[in-house]
Structure 1
Amino acid sequence: MEAKNIAHNYSKNPMSAILFGSRWLQLPLYLGLIVAQCVYVFHFMVELIHLVQKVPDMHEADIMLIVLGLIDVVMISNLLIMVIVGGYETFVSRLNLAGHPDEPDWLSHVNANLLKVKLATAIIGISSIHLLKTFINAPNLDEKVLIWQTIIHMAFVASAISIAWIDKLMTHSDDKH
């Protein structure tokens, strides 16, 4: 019955149908991100094989840098999954995973604001890994590189705090209405 009413409303206003249907234009974008995810999986495997092959001849700092690179790939991959699944669920169509044992906890209450906060947090994590790699390799780098990477990282932190604060204000404001 509900689907029949929706179809009837669209037949009365074709512009609404076009506008609402335009959300499906995002599907190729999410499919492209899945391809990017495959590229990261391939890159991870290549780096892991290099690590295993070279480990007898490596120093601990070199191993740590490669492992941090692997962690970085995993964190970027997690970011991709959040964007793909959360974005599709929020902006394109419901995934209807309710009750599925593998449904991520955050997906049941995902919205655009929560997705922004999660993405900002993930970006801080990725930036932290890059900054740690930089500090481990600090003797080989120019002081300006260290300063600028730290400033950029702090800008990410400030942005994430601002996004979370605005989300909290908006959520608190919505609760009052």
Structure 2
Amino acid sequence: MLKRSLEAVLFASRWLLAPFFLTLVFGLIALLVKMGQLIIELLPHLWQTHESDVLLQVLGLVDLTFASSLIVLVIFSGYANFVSRINPERSGSWPEWLALIDFTGLKLKLMSSIVAISAIQLLRAFMDVKNTPDRELYWDAGIHVVFVVSALLLAVTDRLSTEKH
């Protein structure tokens, strides 16, 4: 009886994750506001702005888009994996694959997104190389390499572990 009660409480505790996922929705809203702010800053000066500066600002928009996609991925796959199943048939607009990402797939997609975000940050630094200190370029490149190596090691580890099973 005590064991069943303890298991029931532990199983129900997964719902404590739901507020974390709701908080991520607020983070998504914050990124949307930041995106709007960047567009408002870009549009009035578009005709006077140099092409490379526009490209840097657009890369910032791409960076925000990747980060937002990452948040959506964490919200849905985390909820589906740890809290409750999502039934994609309820709404025809839900991507079916979103609820089918397992924890291993989530880790790989997260690392891929982080590598992409890091690559965009590095590209932005290189595009503005005149105004970026060498030390910052070295750090950006080094951090990007660490992310790439981490993603590769994670992928190899997951591949080896699935081959053994």
> What TM-score do the two structures reach when normalised by structure 1?
0.87
68, 73, 77: which one pairs with 1:77?
Answer: 68
CA distance in 1, matches of 2:110, 2:86: 20
Per-residue CA shift, 1:7-60, capped at 9, x if unaligned? xxx897110011111111111100000000011111111111211111022111
Aligned residues: 165
Give the residue type in structure 2 aligned to 1:139.
K
Counterpart for residue 48 of structure 1: 39
Change (3 A) 1:149 1:12: closer
Between 137-146 and 88-97, report the one with greater CA deviation. 137-146
Is the aligned partner of 1:103 residue 2:94?
yes
Give the residue type in structure 2 aligned to 1:85.
F
Superposition deviation, residue 124 in structure 1: 0.5
Q: Structure 1 vs Structure 2: percent identity of aligned residues?
A: 36
Q: Partner of 1:58: helix, strand, or coil?
A: coil
Which runs of no fewer than 5 residues in structure 2 stay unpaired? Answer: none
Counterpart for residue 88 of structure 1: 79
Superposition deviation, residue 142 in structure 1: 1.6
Change (3 A) 1:105 1:165: farther
CA distance in 2, matches of 1:109, 1:38: 25
CA distance in 2, matches of 1:72, 1:131: 11
4+ long deviations beyond 3 Å: 98-101
153, 162, 174: which one pairs with 2:153?
Answer: 162
Counterpart for residue 61 of structure 1: 52
